[in-house]
Chains A and B, each alone.
Chain A
């Protein structure tokens, strides 16, 4: 292509300035996205390392590889890192940061400096968390249940809470920036109904971040105060209530599930139309489903507490509402599937991830019905069934969406194509490894294997399924390392991408790759709807060799 040579040399956000200072003091949302990308990738591999320790320990029934305390720290830190330092910021802070201004046709986010601040706050939290890990770690599980966390644990609970408090603030700042940007910074003609669904889902996510995160922040502060000043809020011997903590914790942490999955749904809503060359089926319904999820998602928190001693009638209400919140997710799945109907489908890497997402998210959602079902939850609560369920949502859903999104926008971010054959191979490996890791855990859970068990020597019959799971985890690890390797490789050796290698709609593809610092040469004027694929030519088939 003639344009490729030009865009490679022209000024873009990557070569506009050089030097470490130009990165650390940047207010360019695209550079900040890259800073986030590097930091969360690091955190992901630390969290993954702990996952590996867990799976290796469970290879044999006896607690032989780690001590009990080490194991308890391993799963606690795996969960805390993956949730608070990887999944919550993942798509919003990287892809959302990079793309939302471009998708709405703006030069930057509404508050570029707050955006940079949010990264610093995140780094402050992450650094404190790593400090906590190095000095001995924390063993409360990612859930910090009181009074164990507040009165009994001898580990670094205060540091961990503070670190997460920081991470929470960075996500509040990101959410604030997105909400204001979507309201105030849209280009002329970019009406709400012309917004890409990626923007809609991030808008919904941001609302959850803004309303939910302060609650977890203050809850963790209460745990800190209880530990340091002996406040007694959660201590029953002084009139406190340990279950109150669970209400506060889940008031954020259930909606947090949607902070993690909604952005991923946004990515899928971009990938499926692009690789089916079709308008998204039922645009309005998909967009409104995001909002419905964000709203109802705030009303279901106590479904994590059906056996925690809440009253019979409140359990009924929360079970009922949990079924309601499942409906908009089902709507999305049906609409994505329908989008492929009579399309012109290509199985490129992002599409493979999207198809994987739809299937695995469906399974994650369906197994959620078991947990929302009061009578069944009594048995499977706090067993491996729950572990399997939320990994189907968080990995099968959120992480697959993240990987799909990284591949889809990699040409835009880096200006280079990744090697397609490797991409497809890695996607298939991730899919197989994932299922082998987590499907056996459904069975283990129904058999009654409780979560957070370090040693199961009295139940040797659980070993076979655990061995399968560990085998799957090692395959999954390969699937994660491959993209790391070939994406880095492509930065230097990948083919020059061109502005719009997928022939996708969306304003981000109308500017050069990588985009210039202020995104567009002149402010675009939007006269079209999102996903007008009928007006787009087919992409040159991205060939299998590099």
Chain B
């Protein structure tokens, strides 16, 4: 499988180590996000899409971020890509704070053009809807060629060869012909493969896949996930995979981060979070997970209620209006914001419930029903 020469390109200026910013300790992890806040001022008020998020990711590892719609997953990934500051025309400009360290470089305070040069090369991203994510008026090949040539000073012919190679690598049949097709001539799965080819054409250190399979049908979903897994092994990149679906990440991810209302409510090694979840919201997610022996659409224990407002975030624990166990904390749930605290080795959760209560509820109420 690994007949592609996988080389890390771009030594030199780009990878010159970033001087640590005064007052900010330079981390050792490959990617470290510290207290990230992304707020959007709107007519209705300040939308706190991400509000104090921290995590780490090592090279070659996969982080799965899960959470329901609107929990801030995409905003987080765009923040890492530096795409909020590019200015979203027609939308309000983001206010960002915190730190994003990538291989020792802090991105939030970095020069925009420096971040741009990282984009697509060190950090690449694939999006949820591959049809709308590709330009309808340019051929698939041209779009990959463009992505490659932004960061590589090569001729069009060389870039085209690279594009064909990449298309071949992601499993597009007759890549030398299909390279000249337009996106609408590809099927949904092929489009996502092409997007992956485009993202990987520059051998990024970090690949962010934002719900890469949501728009695809079930059989194709599995293929794409397999492909990502294979390629990650082959390219050795770090991967952040974002999804609503705990099941997807359970097998793919090394670590899992559960987001709720712009904050992390639980994170830890995948098997821990999956088999010994410590947060009531994670329990809810697991409850709503489809199981092999059930119809996918059949959801047993969905989380009741609707996602929290990001403008008027509920007091205390943002989950409390929907949490069946809020009364057990003696009022703390509605008044005090729970901090992430260690609940196991490398395993953190933000909940006021006592360890005993969590243990009891998990083993007696939740686990049997799953």
A and B are interacting partners: no
List chain A positions with a Cβ less than 8 A from chain B. none
